[in-house]
């Protein structure tokens, strides 16, 4: 049975399985920014049981958002495994499931140097109406770069789902949602930092100094202010 990401259930799943943590000294994120907190879905993606649960959350969320995809595609490499599991579980329950009915796409972490776009970028290309899955979005750089590859391969992306949105504005002042909307792609997040960080700080006793540092990060980059202390 699919698990629905409402009534704080998904937030609890996130807090229970080591997805969120804190640093006394800031670390540099993939976006190039520094931060005193992290969100990383690697532990969940590395456990078959938890990954199966996470896939159910995604499938339920897709239904809540009234999305009707033909397949799912996980952004390499953070969401590759999740994309595959979601696509498999979802396709098996679709009417008309059978040989040739559904694609099973996977992106290459590094494009091949030759071949057409479908061969350079994918191990099995997406087809039809595609929902892209990303694990964490900060400025959306990785997601936008992947959308460029999909567009070059003439893949139709109907929506992008982020497991977690760090709720930061890009250097151009746009939110991730706004940046994707400019590309004609709907972006929706299953969790937002401003919703779960207060509970995470309290649960993991991050302390006043880290709380104030995170508040300062949100004053500088945040889509909206965050109060922790």
Give burial (CB, 10 Å; 0-12/13-18/19+) of 15: middle
The answer to whether the beta carbons of residues 186 and 158 sit under 8 Å apart is yes
Domain boundaries, the chain: 9-221
Fold held by 9-221: Rossmann fold (3.40.50)
Residues 6+ apart with CB under 8 A from 228: 197, 198, 201, 211, 212, 214, 215
Query: For the chain, percent helix, then strand, then coil, each to nearest 5?
Result: 40, 20, 40
In tens digits, the chain (229 residues) has pLDDT values of: 334 455 579 999 999 999 999 999 999 988 888 999 999 999 999 999 999 999 999 999 999 999 999 999 999 989 999 999 999 999 999 999 999 999 999 999 898 888 888 889 999 999 999 999 999 999 999 999 999 999 999 999 999 999 999 999 999 999 999 999 999 999 999 999 999 999 999 999 999 999 999 999 999 999 999 999 7
pLDDT at residue 1 in the model: 34
Start-to-end C-alpha separation, the chain? 39
């Amino acid at each position: 049975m699919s698990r629905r990401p409402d009534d704080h259930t998904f937030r609890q799943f996130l807090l229970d399985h080591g997805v969120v943590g804190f640093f006394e000294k800031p670390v540099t994120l993939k976006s190039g920014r520094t931060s005193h907190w992290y969100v990383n879905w690697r532990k969940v993606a590395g456990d078959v049981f938890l990954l199966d649960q996470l896939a159910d959350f995604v499938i339920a969320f897709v239904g809540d958002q009234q999305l009707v995809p033909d397949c799912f595609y996980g952004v390499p490499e953070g969401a590759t495994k999740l994309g595959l599991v979601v696509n498999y579980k979802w396709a098996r329950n679709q009417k008309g499931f059978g040989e040739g009915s559904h694609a099973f796409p996977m992106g290459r972490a590094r494009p091949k140097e030759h071949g057409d776009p479908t061969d350079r970028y994918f191990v099995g290309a997406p087809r039809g109406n595609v929902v892209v899955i990303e694990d964490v979005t900060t400025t959306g750089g990785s997601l936008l770069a992947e959308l460029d590859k999909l567009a070059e391969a003439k893949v139709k992306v109907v929506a992008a789902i982020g497991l977690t949105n760090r709720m930061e504005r890009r250097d151009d002042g746009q939110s991730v949602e706004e940046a994707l909307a400019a590309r004609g792609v709907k972006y929706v997040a299953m969790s937002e930092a401003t919703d779960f960080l207060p509970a995470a700080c309290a649960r993991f006793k991050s302390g006043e100094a880290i709380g104030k540092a995170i508040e300062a990060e949100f004053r500088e980059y945040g889509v909206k202010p965050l109060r922790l202390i």
